[in-house]
């Protein structure tokens, strides 16, 4: 082999000069084409396209993303539980707060069944009317 004159030691992360990429030469010549976009970019572009929707007797021009948000919100408000959970999961802070409240309420309901009895009695009395409440209070005072 012919001896090559090197001005530095060839080794780990130090390739010989003749095997390095030339200036202006790509390390991945058949890489991603310039116009190619990923799935996220395509989805974002599609959600930004405008559509016309009818709301009552008027027509609105919204992006597809805005229309989806409007539909999801309306479904959640009409009682669709899946839509409500999907809406709450979109905002992690709101979902965490609501989930904690629901969990606490569930634990309280399991731990104290007597509370339901008290609530049923209270709501049962409030339906009878104020006159019945005052009559019962008077009866309690006499006893």
Is residue 25 included in any domain, yes or no? no
Is residue 55 included in any domain, yes or no? yes
43 and 85 share one domain: yes
If one counts every other C-beta atom within 10 angstroms of the C-beta of residue 38, the result is 9
Is residue 127 included in any domain, yes or no? yes
Structural domain including 65 reads: 38-90
CA distances to 58, 62, 117, 133, 137 from 123, in Å:
43, 45, 10, 11, 16
Global model pTM greater than 0.75: no
110 and 86 share one domain: no
For the chain, what is the domain count?
2
80 and 105 share one domain: no
Taking the C-alpha atoms of residue 61 and residue 59, their distance in angstroms, rounded to an integer, is 7
68 and 103 share one domain: no
86 and 43 share one domain: yes
Taking the C-alpha atoms of residue 117 and residue 136, their distance in angstroms, rounded to an integer, is 18
Q: pLDDT tens, position by position, for the chain (143 residues)? A: 455 555 778 889 888 888 888 888 888 888 878 778 889 989 999 999 999 999 899 999 999 999 999 999 999 899 898 988 888 888 766 666 666 666 676 666 555 556 666 766 776 654 444 444 445 555 555 54
Is residue 1 included in any domain, yes or no? no
């Amino acid at each position: 082999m012919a001896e090559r004159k090197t001005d530095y030691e060839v080794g780990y992360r130090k390739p010989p000069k003749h095997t390095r990429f030339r200036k202006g030469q790509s390390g991945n010549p058949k890489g991603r084409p310039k116009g190619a976009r990923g799935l996220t970019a395509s989805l974002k572009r599609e959600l930004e396209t405008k559509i016309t929707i009818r709301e009552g007797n008027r027509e609105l021009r919204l992006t597809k993303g805005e229309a989806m948000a409007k539909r999801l919100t309306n479904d959640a408000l009409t009682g669709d539980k899946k839509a409500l959970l999907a809406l709450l999961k979109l905002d992690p802070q709101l979902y965490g707060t609501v989930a904690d409240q629901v969990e606490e309420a569930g634990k309280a309901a399991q731990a104290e069944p007597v509370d339901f009895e008290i609530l049923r009695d209270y709501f049962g009395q409030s339906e009878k009317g104020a006159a019945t409440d005052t009559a019962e209070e008077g009866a309690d005072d006499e006893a």
